[in-house]
Amino acid sequence: QVTLVESGGGSVQSGGSLRLSCAASGSPDIPYYMAWFRQAPGKEREGVAAINSDGSTSYAESVKGRFTVSQGNTKNTLYLQMNSLQPDDTAMYYCAADSSLQSVVIGKVDPSIFEYWGQGTQVTVSS
């Protein structure tokens, strides 16, 4: 069983920044493919950002140029630096992991293909 723990959410004003962190632990102790999703009230969960196995990054169109996804020095850690936050970014942000994925187009991926999910961290952006 794998546990994902997100942190770093909070409330900021429009134009502000936040940095989300996600750490995966559990068994088997292998490298997992990890990604960020978000879900706003009344909306479907959507992909935000991911790092593919070849090192390339994938971003949703709505966050390109504002968000940066990165991996930590420790295996199975993932970060999301969010700059120029807007009220439309308000959502619960989730970290997801999978043991077999190598690459996704995060803006088109079906969230249900990911095996493991964190509890989420709330991001609220006020105007």
Residue 30 has pLDDT above 90, yes or no: no
Q: Averaged over 104-118, what is the pLDDT?
A: 94
Query: Which pLDDT value is given to residue 42?
Result: 95
Query: Which pLDDT value is given to residue 127?
Result: 94
Strands 91-98 and 18-26: unpaired
CA nearest 122: which of 95, 96, 91? 91
Query: Which pLDDT value is given to residue 43?
Result: 97
Q: And the tokens for 69?
A: 């996804």
pLDDT digits over 34-89, tens only? 999 999 999 999 999 999 888 899 999 999 999 999 998 888 999 999 999 999 99
